[in-house]
Amino acid sequence: MIYLEGKVLEKEGFVHGYVKLVNGNIEVGKGKAPGEVLARGYILPYLINSHVHTGDTFIKKKIKNLPRDIEKLVAPPHGIKHRLLSRASKKEIVEGMKESLKMMKNRGVFAFCDFREGGVEGVYLLKDALRDVHLNAIILSRPSCISYDREEIKKLLDVSNGIGISSISDWDINILKKISADTKRRGKLFSLHASERIREDIDLILDLKPDFLVHMVKAEKGDLEMVRDEDIPVVLCPRSNAFFGLKTDYDLMKKVGIKVLLGTDNCMIAEPDVLAEVKWVLKNCKAYSIEELLKAVSYDAAEFFGIKDYGFEKGVVVVDTKSLKPIFVSSGKDHESKGSDV
Ligand SMILES: [Zn+2]
């Protein structure tokens, strides 16, 4: 029997209480724990990383000083990342992915949304890695080339949870409209990076009916208001932005009332540790409370991605209140799966 005590995060917010783990069962109680306490801190159900690219993990070993220029590094098809991905062996990519999956699992991140490059083959590489490290993966795939091939889109949607595009700046908007329409017809997710390096046309972005957007660093107030009015969440990746010398206007995001989730973006740049993102935001702005940020990496993300049966029974994490590092992680009894049903 194990007792964990502290600020228990429930859907409505913090409650002072405890979690009792006994034989794979979980009980949540209010007030002091009635037995010896193993760990104290913020107590949450498992964490969710709402935006990550696990496929580029292997690159961090290849290049020590990555250029801090988005176009040079990550823009398809000629950015360093894409050149290295096209040359890498399957084994190299999968081993890198496993490293990131294990790191997530050890830090209490049991679900993640991956923007997977490399077409259908790229999806299978992640599924391969998930065979060894079981986590709940929401896989958003993308075509292997910047072009439209109805058959390829069909296959991508057969094997993934939807489509995750680099940005409208890299694509012909008419092609994206077709891809989005195909995705919507299948009832799957369509998402893209938006206004990361430069402000992009919000009307064009919203015409694509995205389910969520990533970044919106360069978005202006009017853009954000339109996104809010469409009830579209924005996934923020503060450490990735900082790497490129970018910073979101968090006060504006909060003021406008954007639904915010957190992700870690490219694994070659930042470890896939969403708590590090929470820590970064707390340190660098006053807009969000710890409670709001911890909800963004738990209940809010679970609700948005429609994760069934999300809760303490599927995994518990105790986070140290000072360092914001996980000090206890339990996988619960049956959280494991080989990826979401697609
Ligand atoms: Zn990204």
pLDDT per residue rounded down to tens, the chain (342 residues) = 999 999 999 999 999 999 999 988 899 999 999 999 999 999 999 999 999 999 999 999 888 889 999 989 998 888 999 999 999 999 999 999 999 999 999 999 999 999 999 999 999 999 999 999 999 999 999 999 999 999 999 999 999 999 999 999 999 999 999 999 999 999 999 999 999 999 999 999 999 999 999 999 999 999 999 999 999 999 999 999 999 999 999 999 999 999 999 999 999 999 999 999 999 999 999 999 999 999 999 999 999 999 999 999 999 999 999 999 999 999 865 434 334 455
203 CA to middle of ligand 1, Å?
Answer: 21
Nearest to 212 by CA among 299, 277, 138, 304: 304
Distance CA 155, CA 197 (A): 31
CA distances from 59 to 82, 123, 147, 167 (A): 10, 18, 26, 22
The two beta strands, 2-10 and 13-22, are antiparallel
Quick one: CA torsion of 293, 296, 298, 301, rounded to 10 degrees?
-170
pLDDT given for residue 339 in this prediction: 45
Distance 36 CA to ligand 1 centre (A): 43
8 Å CB contact between 160 and 116: yes
- Cβ neighbors of 12 (< 8 A, separation 6 or more) are none
Q: Which residues surround ligand 1, an ion (CB under 5 A)?
A: 265
Query: Nearest CA to 330 among 22, 11, 9, 6?
Result: 22
Q: Looking at the domain 1-45+311-337, which fold is it?
A: Urease, subunit C; domain 1 (2.30.40)
**If you measure from the C-alpha of residue 51 to the centroid of ligand 1, how many angstroms do you get, rounded to a whole number?**
6
How high is the pLDDT of residue 333?
A: 56
Separation of CA 212 and ligand 1 centre (Å): 12
Q: What pLDDT score does 24 carry? A: 81
Give the per-residue pLDDT at 292: 98
What pLDDT, on a 0 to 100 scale, did the predictor assign at position 342?
53
Q: How far is the CA of 177 from the centre of ligand 1 (A)?
A: 20
Contact 77, 146 (CB under 8 A): yes
Q: How far is the CA of 266 from the centre of ligand 1 (A)?
A: 6
Start-end of CATH 3.20.20.140 domains in the chain: 47-310
How far is ligand 1, taken at its centre, from the CA of residue 218, in Å? 15
What was the pLDDT predicted at 63? 87
How far does residue 40's CA lie from ligand 1's centre (Å)?
34
Q: Is the pTM of this model over 0.75?
A: yes
Q: Which residue is associated with the tokens 């009832």?
A: 187
Which residues are CB-contacts of 223 (< 8 A; sequence separation ≥ 6)? 195, 199, 202, 216
Please tell me the predicted confidence (pLDDT) of residue 332. 67
- Beta bridge pairs of residue 53: 266
How far, in Å, is the centroid of ligand 1 from the Cα of 214? 7
Q: Where in the chain is the domain with CATH 2.30.40.10?
A: 1-45+311-337
Say how many Å lie between the CA of residue 341 and the centre of ligand 1. Answer: 23
Asked whether the beta carbons of 98 and 61 are under 8 A apart, the reply is no
Check: CATH 3.20.20.140 for 47-310?
yes
CA of 140 to the centre of ligand 1 (A): 11
Residue with structure tokens 């994206």? Answer: 176
Distance 210 CA to ligand 1 centre (A): 15
pLDDT for res 334: 44
Separation of CA 115 and ligand 1 centre (Å): 7
The Å distance, Cα 283 to ligand 1 centre, comes to 22
Cα 154 to middle of ligand 1, angstroms: 23
How many Å lie between the centroid of ligand 1 and the Cα of residue 331?
Answer: 27
Q: How far is CA 188 from CA 88, 137, 139, in A?
A: 29, 14, 11
Cα-to-centroid distance, 166 and ligand 1 (Å): 7
> How far does residue 6's CA lie from ligand 1's centre (Å)?
34
